[in-house]
With several copies, the nearest count.
Chain A
Amino acid sequence: MATLKDLRGDQPTWCPGCGHFSIMAGIQKSIIQLGYEPHDFAIISGIGCSGKVSEYVRTNGFHTIHGRSVPVAQGVKMGNPDLKVIASGGDGDGYGIGLGHFVHAARRNIDMSYIVMDNNIYGLTKGQTSPRSEHGFVTKTTKGGNKEYPVDPVSTSIANGATFVAQAFAGDIKQMTEIIEKAIEHKGFSHVNIYSPCVTFNKINTYEFYKERLTKFDEPFDTREEALSAVRAHDGLVTGILYNEKRDDYQEKLGIDFDMQSCVSGDMDEELFHKFKKQFQ
C-alpha cells in the first residue's frame, strides 16, 4: 500500500500557511486511503500557485498551460480509460480563462475529478482580482474596488449537468478529504471547489473569514433545484457534497469497445486496409 512518502513529489514552494498545502495533503491522503498506487493516477494541472500541485503530489503529473487542465485531463481519460484522472488548478485558471472548458466538461460527464483551489485571487501573478473575487474587492488593478460580481462555480456546474458537485474548505481537512475521496470514486465528472486562503495577497478571504461564515451540509440535496437554492441562499458559503447523481459516464455512453493503446511498431494492418478501401472504389 502506498504511504504518504510515496506520494511526495517535488519540494513545495508555496508560502507558509497557504491553503494549497492542505489540498495537496487531502489529495495525497485520499489516494492512500482509497488504496491506490501513485501510478494509477494522473494529476493534470493548470498554471498558478495551485498549478504546481501536479509536481508536488507524486503521481503521474502534467503541468499544462493556464486554463487548459480540464480539456487535457479529459483527453487523458479518453486515451486511457483505466487511469484515475484529476484535474486541478486555481480559481483564475478554472473560472477565469478556463471557464468555458469547465462548463463543457460538466455537461460531458467524462469520468474524472476537477479540484479547484479557490483563493479568490490570482496568486502567482501577485494578487490581482480573480473571477472569484468579491464585488468591491481591492487589488492592484481594482483600486476602486472590483466592479464585477464573482462567478458562481457550483451553481454553474449544477445547472449544466455535472453529476457530482461539492465544496470544501482547506481549513477543514477532514471533511475535505472525505469529499475528495468520494469525488475520486464517483463515476463521471466530479467538481470540487475548495476554499483555499492565499495568506500573502488575500486579506479578506482568510481562514477566519471562512470559519465564521461557512455552512456545512452533510447530505447532498435530492434535486438540482434544491441544491441551487441552498447555494444561493448562503451566498455560496456552503460546504459538503451538494449534488450527486448516478448516470452513465461519457465513455460508457459511447458504447465503444475501446482499443486505443494497442498500436505497435511494425506493418500496417493489411486486412483493415482492404476493409476501409472499398468505400473509395
Chain B
Amino acid sequence: MRNTIEWMVGGQQGEGVDSTGELFAKTLVRYGYSVSTYKQFMSRIKGGHTNYKIKATDERNYYSGDGIDILLCLDKETLTNHEDVLNANAVVIQEGKETKVETENTPEGKPFTVFTVPLKKIAKDLGNPMAKNMIALGISASLVKLPIDILHSFIEEIFAKKGEEVISSNKQAVLKGFELTNEHISNQINELKTPSEKDHLFISGNEATAFGSLMAGCRFLSAYPITPASEIMEWLSQELPKVGGTVMQVEDEIAGICFAVGASYSGVRAMTSTSGPGLSLKTEALGMAGISEVPIVIVNSQRGGPSTGLPTKHEQSDIQHMIYGTHGEIPRIVLSPATIEDAFYMAAESFNLAEVYQCPVLVALDLGLSMNKMTVPSFDTKRVKINRGKLLTQEEVKEFDETHFKRYRLTDDGISPRPLPGMEHGVHTTSSNEHDESGYISEDPENRINMMKKRLEKVRHAMVQEPFKVSGDMDTSDILFVGMGSTYGMIQESIKQLNEEGVVNASHIHLQQLYPLPIDELDPLLQGKRIVTVENNYNGQLLQLLKQYAPIHDRASSITQYDGNPFTVKSIVKQVKELISWQH
C-alpha cells in the first residue's frame, strides 16, 4: 500500500486538461488525501501544451512533486516533455489504435509501463465521444484503487444539468477504465492507504486571498483583468454581492487602485488585485494612498516579467518594486504569504494593518501560489480579529467638536483618528499634497518634517502575526535557506532530502513580511550561518534585501530560477550541492 501518488495529465490547451486534472485532484481530496497541484499553460487560448500536475499524500504536503507515477497523455508532447521525470514503475496512459501494454525505460533507465488504449473509440462506442478523458480517469483511479463512487458522485454533480444520459455514459466510461486496468495491468495496482478523516479545503491561493478578504470585511474590489490575478476578481464578483458588497471591473489598473482608494476613503474595506504590469501602472496612485494615509490593500499576483514578459509563467521578481516603487517615500507594508492558508490569514490581516496604520498594504502572491489548488486545513476564524484601528464612530467624531476636523492630527504613535465623509462634525480634507494637520496644503519646512516623521515612523514596528516561518535547528545548522512565497514546500522537501543525505545541516526561514523587514527578530537567526536565498528571479532580490539590513555579504548567496517554472526539489538539491562543493 502506498501513501503518496504523483499524477499528471498533459495535452493541448482547450482539450479539457484542466478539468480532467481538477476532477482527479478533487477525487483524491474527497478520498481524504492532501493534494498539491501545479498547472502549466501558455499565453494563448487554444493549442499549445498544457499540463496539470498532482501530488497526493496522506499527510500534509506543500509541493506538487518532482516525479510522476501516472501520466495521462492527451497529446504526443506530454510523454516527450515528461518522460525524464517519471518515477520507477510509472504508468503512462496514452491514446492508440488498440489496447496494449508495453514496458519502456526512461533516459535514466527507470522502467515504466505504457498503457495504450483506444480511448476515443471506446468513448464513441459508449455513445459519448466527450467521455474519453473519463476512461483515462477511471484507469488512473483504479491504478491506486480509489473507490469508484467518488468519481461517480462527481459525475452526477458536474453533469446534473446535462441529463441522465450524459451522466450514465460518463459513469460507464469510468467503470470501463476500472475494467481496463483490471484486465490488462493488474500487476501495477498499488492501493492507496486509507487516510484519517480531516476537515480540509481544496482551494487556490487566489481563492484563499479573496475568501480571507471577504471574511475580514472587505466589501469592495476594483480591478482590471490580468493573469494570474483575475481569479480574485472573478471569485469576489460572484460572492461579494451576497454580502452587500461589489466588484468593479474598471477601465484600467490606475482606475483600479483609484476606485479602491475612493471607496476606502468613504469607509469601506477596499482592495485592488493585479499582476506586474498593473502594479507598475498603480505606482503613482500608490504614493497617493501613502501620503493621504488612506488604507488600501493591493494584491500583486506575480508572474514572469519584465513588461508583458511571460504572462502565464511563475516568477517572484516584483519584490523590489513592491518595497521601493513610487517616487518619494511613503509608509507601506509588504506581505508575502508562504502557503495557501497563510494567504487567507494574511489577506485578512492586511485589512487590519491597512486601517491600523492607515497606509497601503501590498500582498505578494506568485503564480504558483495564486493559481494552484492545495488541500489545507479548514481556516480558523478566530485567528485574525477584525481591527479597524482609529476609525471613529459618529459619536466619537462629535466629541472632538471641531469645525474642520484635523484629519492629520499629530499624535504620539503617528496615527490620526479618522472620521468618515458624511459624518456630522467630521468634515475634513484628505490630500496628496504635503499638508498640515487640517489637510490643507502646507509648504512650511517644520510642518513637513513633522509629517514625514509621522508617516514614515508609524509603520516602523508594524508586524504581522507570523512575519516569518522558522524551521530546522537554528543553533546547530550551518546553512540557512531563506525564501518567500510558493517555494515553501520545495525548500522544506529539499532540506529534508539534504539532511537525510547528510549533505548539510540546514534550517529555513520563509519570510512573510518583506517590509518593514523584521530585522530585529531576524538578526539573531542570521548570525554565523551560511545564508542561501532560494528565489524565482534573476537578481536575487531577497538576497539584496537582506544585505541591505545585515552585513552578511561574505557568507550569503542565492539560488535562483527564472525560466518561468517553479523550482523542483531536484534542482534545489543539485544547486546546493554545487554551491557547497564550490566552497570547498
- Give chain A residues whose Cβ lies under 8 Å from the Cβ of B259: 71-72, 74-75, 78
**Across-interface contacts of A259 in B (CB, < 8 A):** 219, 243-245
Stretch of A122-130, A162-170, A213-221 contacting B (4+ beta carbons < 8 Å): A122-130
Are A15 and B255 touching (Cβ within 8 A)?
Answer: no
Instruction: Name 28 interchain pairs, CB-CB below 8 A, sorted by A.
Output: A9-B429, A9-B440, A13-B44, A15-B14, A39-B421, A39-B425, A39-B426, A60-B422, A65-B288, A68-B258, A72-B261, A75-B261, A76-B263, A76-B265, A77-B266, A83-B266, A125-B226, A141-B247, A256-B245, A257-B244, A258-B246, A263-B219, A263-B269, A268-B215, A268-B348, A268-B382, A272-B214, A277-B378
Distance in angstroms between the alpha carbons of A143 and B233 in the assembled complex: 12
B225 touches A280 (CB 8 A): no
B250 and A13 contacting across the interface, CB-CB below 8 Å:
no
Enumerate chain A residues within 8 angstroms of B80, measured Cβ to Cβ. none
Q: Does B431 contact A (CB under 8 A)?
A: yes
Check: A194 CB closer than 8 A to any chain B CB: no
CB neighbours (8 Å) of A42 from chain B are: 265-266, 421-422
Residues of B within 8 A of A171 (CB): none
Q: Which residue of A lies closest to B240 (CB)?
A: A256
Whether A161 sits at the interface, judged by CB under 8 Å, is: no
Which A residues have a C-beta under 8 Å from some C-beta of B? 9-10, 13-16, 37-40, 42, 44, 47, 49, 52, 54-55, 58-68, 71-80, 82-83, 96-97, 99-101, 104, 122-126, 128-129, 131, 140-144, 200, 254, 256-270, 272-273, 276-277, 280-281
Taking a contact as CB atoms closer than 8 A, the residue among A13, A37, A72 that contacts B47 in the complex is A13
Q: Which residue of B215, B251, B426 is within 8 Å of A96 (Cβ)?
A: B251
- Provide the bound-state CA to CA distance between A113 and B185, in Å: 63
CB atoms of A142 and B249 under 8 A apart: yes
- How many residues on chain B are close to A (CB under 8 Å)? 94
Task: For the complex, give the distance between the alpha carbons of A180 and B378 in Å.
Answer: 54
Q: A79 to B288, Cβ gap below 8 A? A: no
Let me know if B429 and A61 touch, CB within 8 A: yes
Segment among B105-113, B201-209, B479-487, B521-529 that sits at the interface with chain A? B201-209
Cβ of A58 and Cβ of B224 under 8 Å apart? no
**In the bound complex, what is the Cα–Cα distance between A49 and B288 (angstroms)?**
18
Say whether A79 contacts B263, CB under 8 Å: yes
Q: Is B300 an interface residue (CB 8 A)?
A: no
CB atoms of A273 and B241 under 8 A apart: no
Which one, A39, A126, A265, contacts B423 given CB within 8 A?
A: A39
Interface locus among B66-74, B383-391, B446-454: B383-391
Q: How many A-B residue pairs have CB under 8 A?
A: 281
With both chains docked as a complex, state the minimum distance between the C-beta of B103 and any C-beta of chain A, in angstroms: 37
A39 and B217 contacting across the interface, CB-CB below 8 Å: no
* A72-B262, A100-B251 given; A128·B245 CB < 8 A: no
**A272 CB → nearest B CB, Å:** 7
Q: Which residues of A contact B425 (CB under 8 A)?
A: 39
* B381 & A10 in contact (Cβ 8 Å cutoff): no
Contact with A along B266-279 (1 / 0, CB 8 A): 11111000000100
Residues in B with CB closer than 8 Å to A68 are: 254-255, 258, 285, 288
Asked if residues B432 and A82 are in contact (CB atoms below 8 Å), the reply is no
Complex Cα distance, B307 from A122, in Å, reads 19
Which chain A positions have C-beta within 8 A of B284?
65
Q: Please, which residues of chain B bring their CB within 8 A of the CB of A141? A: 225, 233-234, 237, 247, 249
Shortest Cβ distance from A62 into B: residue: B430
Least distance between B357 CB and chain A CB atoms (Å): 15
User: Which residues on B sit within 8 Å (CB–CB) of A65?
Assistant: 277, 284-285, 287-288, 307-308, 432
Tell me if B260 is interfacial: C-beta within 8 Å of chain A: yes
Given A74-B262, A75-B262, verify A260-B378 contact (CB < 8 Å). Answer: no
Q: CB < 8 Å: which of B207, B292, B381, B421 contacts A267?
A: B381
Contacts of B378 in A (CB 8 A): 277
Determine whether B581 belongs to the interface, using a CB cutoff of 8 Å to chain A: no
Given the known interface contacts A55-B439, A65-B308, A80-B422, the answer about A268 and B384 at a Cβ–Cβ threshold of 8 Å is yes
Asked if A71 and B258 make an inter-chain contact with CB atoms under 8 angstroms apart, the answer reads yes
> Which of A104, A129, A144, A281 has the most C-beta atoms of chain B within 10 angstroms of its own C-beta?
A281
Q: In the complex the two chains form, is A60's CB within 8 Å of B245's CB?
A: no
CB distance from B352 to the nearest CB of A (A): 9
Which residue of chain B has the shortest Cβ distance to A72 in the bound complex? Answer: B262
Q: Given A68-B258, A265-B387, A268-B384, decide whether A124 and B45 contact each other with a Cβ distance below 8 A.
A: yes
Q: A128-B225, A141-B233 are in contact. Are A60 and B428 (CB under 8 A)?
A: yes
A10 neighbours in B (Cβ, 8 Å): 429, 438, 440-441
Identify the interface centre among A68, A104, A200: most chain B CB within 10 Å of its CB. Answer: A68
Measured CB to CB, the closest approach of chain A to B469, in angstroms, equals: 23
Q: Is the CB of A66 within 8 A of B251?
A: no
A267 touches B265 (CB 8 A): no
**A47 and B428 contacting across the interface, CB-CB below 8 Å:** no
